Structure 1
Amino acid sequence: MKLALIGGGGIRAPLFVQSALRRAAHIGLDEICLMDVDARQLELFGALSRELGGREGAGVAITTTTQAAVALTGADFVITTIRPGGIDGRIADERIALDIGVLGQETTGAGGFAMALRSIPAILDYARLMADLCPDAWLINFTNPAGLVTQALYDEGFERAVGICDSANSAQRAVARWAGVPVETVVTELFGLNHLSFTRSAVVAGSDLLPDALADDAFLNSSVQRVFEPDVVRRQGMWLNEYLYYFFHAEKAVASFRNASRGEEIRALNERLLPRLQTAGDPGAALDLYFDYERERSASYMRGANGSRTAAVHPDDGEGYAGVALDVIGALSGGRRVRTGLNVANAGAIEDLRDGDVVEVNCHVDACGIQPVHFGRMPERQSYLVQSVKNYERLAVEAIRKRDRELAVDALVAHPLVLSYSRARPLVDRYLEAHAAYTTGWA
């Protein structure tokens, strides 16, 4: 099996490589090809990945290239994890939004739209290359905003595609830890959209443990639910995707980014890491520096959210995005069937959304493909927000595919975190100007 990692020069690429190497024998992995347009970072993180290969002893070839055609030729699975515009593009997205008085977070609202207008065309170009060079391969997308990118892929007819987000399965892992049971014994009911999902139940041996878990302050404080006030979680009566913080505490979220946006925090971390890697002296020392960086970055995740509550969050033990992707790869390749939360075409799973809408739901995955699990109608309290944001997503993807400025304005007006032409028009104008290298042909 050949895995192609598009964006293999990204800072988090070695984490994916490490997880893949640990499962190499199980999934029949022969080669991981790291591809990136940034040759300097590809060299740095390719060296770290090869050092991991030596330590794991899996006998997997780790190759690097700046040519997409080389990476895609013969690939069985293609992982896309790119950031067009880099970290400076993310910071521009955040700052433009904050200047206009709205959230600039990179996966939702104005910031999510700005990233999508760069990410969607790039991912579609890779998908078209795949159609020529590896037409039977699956495209597994990590690139943000994952829901919008995956929607664009389906709208363009690329059906062997799936969006991955580790937060889709966080309720399952948290309840398993709280109950002291294996994670695979917890069966959840997940519904919604990427970074806008809810978990209605978490059943173990026929009993729903979620109500008791949500009633336990220790459970809330040891999980990502700590970003919300406890009464907010309990009034909703469900596990909340942590990104719902940006909707349920919108003004606090905007205020928390005023002094330093998340992009600016990450750029500062990266600016310390990269020179150290270049002067580390040997790959082993560089790898130690890299894992120190990852621990620091993970510890700062959503640090500004509800910062008055200081209880530590249990570290993730599910290998993040990589673990979900590799579970899917193993199942599609003929391994054991898995049930996991994914971003896929709805196909009737959520009855009050369209069949072609990309949603975040539980799916069964095996050698026959990916099948969303039927959920039914969404509860009214949660449905209003999901429906509103899905309407925005449909408009945003159409606007980006057509390069239509006025439709883009309509999309942002429809988003619950913008809701105003007087904000949406300058947002679209400034984003198109700031990212002119990626927005040629916009009307």
Structure 2
Amino acid sequence: MKLTVIGGGGVRAPLFVGSALRRAERSGLTEICLQDIDEKKLDLFGRLSQEVARRMQSPVRVTMAREAERALEGASYVVTTVRPGFEDGRIKDERISLSHGVLGQETTGPGGFAMALRSIPAILSYAETLKRVSPEAWLFNFTNPAGLVAQALQDAGYHRTVGICDGANGAQEALAHWFKVPQNDIRAEVYGLNHLSFTRSARIKSEEVLQPLIDDDHFLKSTRQRMFDPKLIRRQRNWINEYLYYYYYAEKAVEALKADARTRGEEVKDLNAALIAGLAGIDLDKSADEALARYYAYERRRNATYMHYARDDAPSMEEADRLVETAVVETGEEGEGYAGVALNLIDALETNVPCYSGLNVRNDGAIDGLAADDVVEVSCVIDKSGIKPVKIGAMPDAQGQLVRSVKHYERLAIRAISRRDCDTAIEALMAHPLVLSYSRAAPLVDEYLAAHKDYAGEWT
């Protein structure tokens, strides 16, 4: 069985490969093909991935390809994780938004729209190639904004596609850790949209375990829920997706992002450049330990300042920088992130052992008040027969109003991008709860189209 990673020259490739190799015998995996248009990065992180496979003494082949058709041919599963416009595109998205006093973040609000300008056409192109050379393959999209991209794929008729995001399973993961049980033993009820979802219930066997812990400060402080006021969580009686920080603390988030000397994109660009320069100076054949130590230190440093402005316990930039000095070769098993979501699906589809996961799929009646063809983030059951959303029913009024509002924006945004229509793009941003204003939406659209003209093309 062949698994292809589109964007396999990205810095996360060795972690993904390590996770996949640990599961290879279970799923029948025989080849992981890493594809990327950046030949230098593909060679660098591809060779590091091959070193991971060598150390694990895995029989699975780790191959590399620049051409999408060659990489996709014969694939059973494809994971897409690309960044059209690279880090510089992300930085433009952030800086343009912040200059208008609105959120500069790559998946939520106007920054997410700007990312979608570039991501949707790119992923649709890969999907078309996949349909031609491996029509029975599943496509798991992790490219941001994952919900918008998944909706665009479904609208274009690519129905063997799923949007994946580790954030959808935050409650499930935290509860598994708390109770020291396998994550798949937790039956969570997730509903909403990507980066805008809620978990209202979670059970182990027949016992409800989430609701009692919402009243437990110790539990909340041990999870990413610590970025929210416990009163907010208890008022909602839901586990709240961490990206809802941008809605519930909107002005604080914008102020914090504007106060940072560097945007997140600028920080990641600097970290990536330092990592690549450092690895380029190491002979991997002679000094693999040094290369892997530097790589894992980079991962610790990058993760340390994730959403740092929302966490009281986040380290300073200086403290985070010192993490890079700790040269420890890790196992890579500390947390699989999006790789774990994708690999759990593959395991279930191949082995017929059911998996329970929050995914971005067609609604098909799972959540009341949304259309059947709306892509939603919802709990699903996965086995050899396919991927089936769990019936959620009606959303509470407060959560439902926000979800429907953002879904309206998503539909308009996809229509604008598919038609290259400026008026519809402005209407989309005006509909987004983090923009709302015509006087902000119009110049945002103009500036984003100008900044990304090489990707967006000519709009009317």
- State the TM bucket, normalised to the shorter chain: over 0.9
Shift of 1:271: 2.1
1:323 correspondence with 2:328: no
Letter of the 2:226 counterpart = R
Q: Which residue of 2 is the match for residue 280 of structure 1?
A: 282
Q: Which residue of 2 is the match for residue 269 of structure 1?
A: 271
Partners of 2:310 and 2:11 lie apart in 1 by 24
**Contact 1:178–1:213 (Cα < 8 Å) also in 2:** no
SS at structure 2 position matched to 1:333: helix
Deviation per residue, 1:118-142 (Å, 9 max, x gap): 0000000000001111111111101
SS at structure 2 position matched to 1:268: helix
Q: Which residue of 1 is the match for residue 393 of structure 2?
A: 376
Q: Which residue of 2 is the match for residue 207 of structure 1?
A: 207
Partners of 1:392 and 1:74 lie apart in 2 by 37
1:392 to 404, 409, 424: 409
Partners of 2:396 and 2:192 lie apart in 1 by 11
Q: Which residue of 2 is the match for residue 227 of structure 1?
A: 227
Partners of 1:36 and 1:437 lie apart in 2 by 19
1:251 correspondence with 2:251: yes
Partners of 2:281 and 2:33 lie apart in 1 by 25
Matches within 5 A, 1:402-413: 402-413=419-430
Shift of 1:318: 4.7
1:333 to 350, 354, 365: 350
Deviation per residue, 1:288-310 (Å, 9 max, x gap): 11111111111211111143788
Partners of 2:448 and 2:187 lie apart in 1 by 42
Matches within 5 A, 1:165-244: 165-244=165-244
Shift of 1:177: 2.2
Partners of 1:316 and 1:391 lie apart in 2 by 39
Structure 1 stretch displaced more, 136-145 or 202-211: 202-211
1:345 correspondence with 2:362: yes
Q: Which residue of 2 is the match for residue 150 of structure 1?
A: 150
**Contact 2:120–2:149 (Cα < 8 Å) also in 1:** yes
Letter of the 1:325 counterpart = A
Structure 1 stretch displaced more, 225-234 or 402-411: 225-234
SS at structure 2 position matched to 1:126: helix
Partners of 2:308 and 2:36 lie apart in 1 by 30
Q: Which residue of 1 is the match for residue 32 of structure 2?
A: 32
Partners of 1:280 and 1:158 lie apart in 2 by 42
Runs of 4+ that moved beyond 6 A = none
| Coordinate RMSD, CA, aligned | 1.5
Shift of 1:70: 0.7
Partners of 1:179 and 1:334 lie apart in 2 by 26
**Contact 2:94–2:111 (Cα < 8 Å) also in 1:** yes
**Contact 1:9–1:36 (Cα < 8 Å) also in 2:** yes
SS at structure 2 position matched to 1:442: coil
Residue correspondences, number = 439
Letter of the 2:191 counterpart = F
Partners of 2:255 and 2:311 lie apart in 1 by 11
Structure 1 residue runs without a partner (length 5+): none
Q: Which residue of 1 is the match for residue 324 of structure 2?
A: none
Partners of 2:351 and 2:183 lie apart in 1 by 21
Deviation per residue, 1:312-355 (Å, 9 max, x gap): xxx99551111110010111223411111100000000011110
SS at structure 1 position matched to 2:379: strand
Partners of 2:44 and 2:333 lie apart in 1 by 26
Structure 1 stretch displaced more, 25-34 or 316-325: 316-325
Shift of 1:235: 1.4
Letter of the 2:379 counterpart = N
Q: Which residue of 2 is the match for residue 423 of structure 1?
A: 440
Q: Which residue of 2 is the match for residue 441 of structure 1?
A: 458
TM-score, normalising length from structure 2?
0.93
SS at structure 2 position matched to 1:147: helix
Letter of the 1:107 counterpart = T
**Contact 1:100–1:423 (Cα < 8 Å) also in 2:** yes
Partners of 2:307 and 2:36 lie apart in 1 by 28
Instruction: Rate the CA distance shift 1:354–1:95 in 2: closer, same or farther, 3 A.
Output: same
Partners of 1:428 and 1:332 lie apart in 2 by 41
The sequence identity of aligned pairs, in percent, is 56
Partners of 1:300 and 1:291 lie apart in 2 by 15
Structure 2 residue runs without a partner (length 5+): 316-331
Q: Which residue of 2 is the match for residue 63 of structure 1?
A: 63
Partners of 2:42 and 2:182 lie apart in 1 by 37
Structure 1 stretch displaced more, 378-387 or 280-289: 280-289
Matches within 5 A, 1:81-160: 81-160=81-160
1:289 to 291, 294, 297: 294
Shift of 1:183: 2.6
**Contact 1:25–1:58 (Cα < 8 Å) also in 2:** no
Structure 1 stretch displaced more, 253-262 or 368-377: 253-262
**Contact 2:308–2:314 (Cα < 8 Å) also in 1:** no
SS at structure 2 position matched to 1:409: helix
Partners of 1:392 and 1:184 lie apart in 2 by 33
TM-score, normalising length from structure 1?
0.97
SS at structure 1 position matched to 2:371: coil
Q: Which residue of 2 is the match for residue 358 of structure 1?
A: 375
**Contact 1:173–1:318 (Cα < 8 Å) also in 2:** no
